């Protein structure tokens, strides 16, 4: 069968226990792959309770594994099932491995967490490694503070997995903004597997629904988004406090809480927002881009996907990064501010309502991200497709077998030398 007409299978693991970042990134990549080649099928493994709320192109489906949540003590618990977390993790691990076994992908892309949540992807990786299936780790531009990441990866024994299992490591960003493995002691063979793709460009769907909240606002408005919303209460409170302290702010606002914000906080914020003629609220939209495209500016926490959307829709933005439990958003926002892509407010310096009000007044006069020339900034999806297409040229699924692969793995060979942007140590 000619390669052009042959079915090509890509399996993606989306590390999800909280928030929307991972599933949104994986969805963006999956949509780009099936759009580039109609012979490609993509199957996403995810624990996100929101994955069914998104629209996917034809050729994409997903397997929803039982959900888990991170508790206040840092441990994980079952999200919905009334069983112990160990039982839930055993189910997740088996579903992931069996899906990889039966689907027989030509390529396996693992998002962010090299061995998955508590090592749940390890058996699937070893199974596919023994079959000769190419294995790729996809990393966002910033992982965490280097010292904290080094300790975490040492505890999880990540470097041996990078050395022995993965064939390539794709970084969805640029080294000018951040090098995510800075401070990690990895062998040269791992560094050689790394490639920077650029950020993942976002586009509106052909038939994007426009939330009616836009129609209820007179004149320009500012979009306020806290991502998944589970840790976005401080941001929304600060913005509302700014409107309360300065009722003459000339721009309206659409505040998107996020599906994981507590109901109590949402109701309180709705009551406060209702006092203002030009402030509207939404719990969730699966098409934030439609709002962002029409906004005069954006106030956001600064997760990876929101940052990509700000760049893609060329929006003036104020980023208020969180600093706990990770410094990821702060590191990204600081680097982007330093090269002039966005402005940043540091909540750790105090949440003065007048400081936010001043920033909101000045936001529509900020420079645009496009005013800064950063070569390759939004080339990520094109480069990802080129990398995927190269792997799919000579696919190797291995035998259709349900037998467990228990043998030890051999060190991975170095990837081909022709890659978009090589990482530099």
Confidence (pLDDT) at 6: 66
**How far apart (Å, rounded) are the C-alpha atoms in residues 411 and 257?**
46
**How far apart (Å, rounded) are the C-alpha atoms in residues 290 and 288?**
5
**How far apart (Å, rounded) are the C-alpha atoms in residues 317 and 328?**
18
Confidence (pLDDT) at 320: 96
**How far apart (Å, rounded) are the C-alpha atoms in residues 112 and 48?**
15
Q: Which domains does the chain carry?
A: 8-201+378-392 (3.40.50.2000), 212-371 (3.40.50.2000)
| Residue ranges of the chain whose pLDDT lies below 70 | 1-6, 16-21, 71-74, 205-211, 213, 395-425
Half-sphere exposure of 289 (CA within 13 A, CB side): 19
Residues 24, 26, 27: CA angle, nearest 5 degrees: 65
Q: Three-class SS of residue 221?
A: strand
| Model confidence pLDDT, tens digit, residues 188-203 | 999 999 999 999 999 8
Long-range contacts of 206-209 (CB under 8 A, 24+ apart): 208/287, 208/289, 208/290, 209/287, 209/290
- State if pTM tops 0.85: yes
**How far apart (Å, rounded) are the C-alpha atoms in residues 225 and 255?**
6
| Residue-level length of the chain | 425
| Model confidence pLDDT, tens digit, residues 210-255 | 667 677 777 899 999 988 778 889 999 999 999 999 988 989 999 9
**How far apart (Å, rounded) are the C-alpha atoms in residues 135 and 113?**
13
Radius of gyration for the chain, computed over Cα atoms and rounded to the nearest angstrom: 22
Residues 89, 129, 62: CA angle, nearest 5 degrees: 50
Query: Which region holds residue 160: left if phi is over 0, alpha if psi is between -120 and 50, else beta?
Result: alpha
Confidence (pLDDT) at 405: 42
């Amino acid at each position: 069968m000619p390669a052009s007409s042959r079915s090509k299978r890509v399996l993606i693991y989306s590390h999800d226990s909280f928030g929307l970042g991972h599933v949104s990134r994986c969805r963006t990549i999956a949509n780009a792959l099936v759009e580039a080649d109609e012979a490609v099928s993509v199957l996403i493994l995810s624990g996100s309770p929101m994955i069914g709320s998104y629209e996917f192109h034809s050729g994409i489906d997903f397997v929803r594994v039982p959900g888990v949540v991170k508790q206040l003590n840092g441990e994980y618990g079952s999200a919905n099932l009334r069983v112990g977390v160990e039982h839930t993790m055993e189910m997740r691990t088996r579903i992931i491995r069996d899906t990889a076994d039966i689907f027989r992908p030509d390529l396996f892309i693992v998002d962010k967490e090299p061995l998955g949540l508590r090592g749940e992807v390890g058996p699937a990786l070893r199974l596919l490694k023994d079959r000769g299936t190419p294995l790729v780790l996809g990393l966002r531009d910033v992982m965490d503070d280097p010292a904290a990441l080094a300790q975490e990866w040492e505890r999880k024994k990540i470097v041996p997995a990078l050395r022995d299992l993965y064939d390539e490591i794709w970084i969805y960003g640029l080294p000018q903004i951040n090098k995510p493995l800075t401070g990690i002691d990895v062998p040269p063979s791992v560094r050689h597997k790394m490639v920077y793709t650029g950020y993942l460009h976002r586009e509106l769907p052909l038939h994007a629904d426009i939330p009616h909240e836009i129609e209820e606002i007179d004149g320009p408005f500012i979009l306020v988004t806290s991502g998944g919303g589970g840790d976005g209460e401080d941001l929304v409170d600060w913005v509302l406090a700014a409107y309360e302290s300065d009722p003459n702010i000339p721009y309206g606002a659409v505040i998107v809480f996020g599906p994981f914000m507590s109901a109590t906080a949402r109701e309180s914020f709705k009551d406060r927002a209702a006092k203002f003629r030009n402030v509207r609220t939404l719990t969730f939209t699966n098409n934030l881009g439609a709002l962002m495209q029409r906004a005069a500016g954006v106030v956001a926490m600064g997760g990876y996907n929101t940052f990509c959307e700000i760049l893609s829709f060329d929006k003036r933005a104020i980023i208020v990064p969180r600093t706990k439990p990770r410094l990821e958003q702060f590191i990204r926002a600081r680097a982007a501010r330093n090269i002039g892509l966005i402005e940043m407010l540091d909540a750790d310096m105090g949440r003065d309502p007048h400081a936010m009000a001043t920033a909101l007044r000045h936001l529509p006069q900020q420079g645009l991200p496009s005013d800064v020339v950063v070569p390759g900034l939004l080339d990520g999806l094109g480069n990802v497709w080129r990398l995927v297409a190269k792997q799919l040229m000579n696919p190797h699924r291995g035998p259709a077998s349900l037998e467990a692969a228990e043998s030890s793995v051999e060190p991975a060979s170095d990837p081909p030398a022709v890659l978009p942007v090589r990482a530099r140590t």
